[in-house]
Amino acid sequence: MENLKALIQRQSGNIIYRFASIKKLLNFDKILKISLFISAALVLGIVLGFVVTLCVASFDFLKSVGFSSLLKDTWNPLTDEFGASPFIFTTILVSSLSLLLSIPFSLSIAISLSDKKGNKLLQSFLNTSLDLMAAVPSVIYGFWALFTLSPLVRLLQTKLGFAPMGVGLFTAVIVLTIMIIPFSAGISREVIKLVPQELEEAGYSLGATRYEVIRSIILPQAKSGIIAGFILSMGRSLGETMAVTMVIGNFNAFPKNIFSPANTISSLIANQFNEASGLHQSALIFLGLILLVITLLVNLAGAFILKGSRR
């Protein structure tokens, strides 16, 4: 009897011990590993989830109206007319123009920042300012542009004989240019830094000036990285919403001139989505899907070129 009790005690102690060690293993290593897998799966699923969600939600629209709407130019939800071409056109126009306009500024500031003989104080000032520009919220850029930039544009329009509206394509392009400079300048700065010092020195040792070294050695070396930076900035400006929405003038047709009010895909969505329902909402979601696909492709291309340039 005594023996049996002891045996049971020993056995159960063993079992408890074994159980505890299994539990410990399960608790720590397994749970952490599972958490890592779940998180990674969630992140992997986001992009796919986005595309699928938007596809499903724009199905109504595609079924009843279809892709042909991309070619039409009349947008009137009341009569179920959803011509999307003006918005796609304006989106690409606004971001290309601001990208072109930003190039000299981005390159200049990247060159200033990579000058090894430059004033260190000035360089850190430029650097910090650039970081802060990237941190200013979009809505504040829009608000500022609405109250200080658009009165100036109005003056310009009066001088040139246009209707003095202040808001429109031109104002949107200016704000967007200011907003994407920190981004493209940041990438240019990094790729210029990657150009080997020895090549620069080889240029100087042949008697070249700094301008000649930058033009014929540094820029050609950093070319693909800089282009990738511009493509990535383009991706960013395509989807920029708030500042553009606030100053582009909310007009649902092709812009007639550079000062015309217009709408990009994102400003159209920001302006109309909350009041939209049914087919109208589905149409807006379809436009969102188009925007998403364009930006994903642009970003993929940019990342691909950037990766190649770092080899």
Span 19-78, contacts to other proteins by CB under 8 A: 28-29, 31-33, 35-40, 42-44, 46-47, 49-50, 53-54, 57
Segment near other proteins (CB under 8 A), from 8-16, 62-70, 76-84, 292-300?
Answer: 292-300
Q: How far is CA 22 from CA 29, 30, 37, in A?
A: 11, 11, 21
Which residues neighbour 16 within 8 Å (Cβ) at sequence distance 6 or greater? none
308 binding other proteins? (CB under 8 A): no
How many residues belong to the chain? 311
User: What is the torsion angle, in degrees rounded to the nearest 10, for the CA atoms of residue 136, residue 140, residue 144 and residue 150?
Assistant: 110
- How far apart CA 136 and CA 13 sit, in angstroms, is 63
139 binding other proteins? (CB under 8 A): yes
β-pairing, 75-76 with 81-82?
A: antiparallel
* Residue with Cβ nearer other proteins (13 or 151): 151
Question: Alpha helices, DSSP H only, in 77-119?
Answer: 85-114
The burial of 132, by beta-carbon neighbours within 10 Å (0-12 exposed, 13-18 middle, 19 or more buried), is given as exposed
Residues 144-163 that bind other proteins (CB under 8 A): 144, 146-148
- How far apart CA 241 and CA 187 sit, in angstroms, is 22
Q: What are phi and psi of 92, to 5 degrees?
A: -70, -40
* Residue with Cβ nearer other proteins (65 or 238): 238
Residues 244-263 that bind other proteins (CB under 8 A): 246
As measured in angstroms, the least distance from the Cβ of 3 to other proteins is: 38
105 binding other proteins? (CB under 8 A): yes
DSSP strands (E only) in the chain: 75-76, 81-82
Q: What are phi and psi of 248, to 5 degrees?
A: -85, -15
Segment near other proteins (CB under 8 A), from 8-16, 62-70, 132-140, 150-158?
Answer: 132-140
Binding-residue pattern over the window 109 to 128 for other proteins, x denoting contact by CB under 8 A: x-xx---xx--------x--
131 binding other proteins? (CB under 8 A): yes
88 binding other proteins? (CB under 8 A): no
241 binding other proteins? (CB under 8 A): yes
3-state secondary structure of 38: helix
288 binding other proteins? (CB under 8 A): yes
* Residue with Cβ nearer other proteins (4 or 48): 48
Q: Which of 201, 257, 258, 278 binds other proteins (CB under 8 A)?
A: 201
Q: How far is CA 53 from CA 65, 278, 300, in A?
A: 19, 16, 21
Number of residues counted as binding other proteins (CB under 8 A): 100
Q: Is 80 left (phi over 0), alpha (psi -120 to 50) or beta?
A: left
Q: Which of 235, 249, 255, 261 binds other proteins (CB under 8 A)?
A: 235
Segment near other proteins (CB under 8 A), from 60-68, 80-88, 150-158, 203-211?
Answer: 203-211
DSSP state of 137: -
As measured in angstroms, the least distance from the Cβ of 41 to other proteins is: 9
As measured in angstroms, the least distance from the Cβ of 68 to other proteins is: 23
